[in-house]
Amino acid sequence: MATTKATKRKAPAGTTMVKRYDGRRVRQPDGLAFLMKQHREVEALFDRFEASEDDAEKTKLVDQVCLALAVHAKIEEELLYPPAEDKIDEPDLVDEAYIEHATAKDLIAQLEGMTVGDQYYDAKVKVLSEYIAHHVKEEETELFPEIKRSDMNLAGLGEKLESRTEQLKAEFGNPNSAAAKSKIRADAAAGAHL
């Protein structure tokens, strides 16, 4: 008997179906899927910023972007990059990722000290968006496939990434508060120079 509902295809245990930067859906181990989900969330925030003409909304979106990127960079640098450097065939990919993070952190620190309407504010958001898009593409097409081929425990990594993300969000607090902006700016500035 035919059903009227389409059945969803389940991913095998330890993997999740996620959308890549290019829109294709791929099966990824949990840790990488978690990071790719964060990539999509930041991309959506940048898209909303681009479409917005409301200064208050733009401020809120940039605060959310800066928090999301600060947290994302920190969890990758703490939990993903160190073991990946030892496990993948091309550790230079990790070195490049650290440098790309440092550049993004510099822009984040600059944006955290600015307000909508300041000279270059929108331009810096645009450059950060383009830079993050480049970084995400490299991670998803070069670094993540290398990690996936390694013997890293990606399911366990996913749990650690998720837990650390929640800790950092609680530590930073409301992304629109002055205290959170100060913490994000300080954290970004501390990591901006390698």
Residues 81/158, Cβ–Cβ less than 8 Å: no
Q: How big is the CA angle at 149 (ends 143 and 153), to the nearest 5 degrees?
A: 95
142: which 2 tokens? 């070069």
Residues 74/187, Cβ–Cβ less than 8 Å: yes
By the 10 Å C-beta count (0-12 exposed, 13-18 middle, 19+ buried), 175 is classed as buried
DSSP string, 173-194: --TTSHHHHHHHHHHHHHHS--
For residue 31, the surrounding DSSP H or E stretch is: helix 30-51
pTM of this prediction?
A: 0.80
Q: Quick: pLDDT tens for 170-190.
A: 988 776 666 666 666 666 666
Q: Quick: pLDDT tens for 47-97.
A: 999 999 999 999 999 999 999 999 999 999 999 999 999 999 999 999 999
pLDDT category at 46 given cuts 50, 70, 90 is: very high
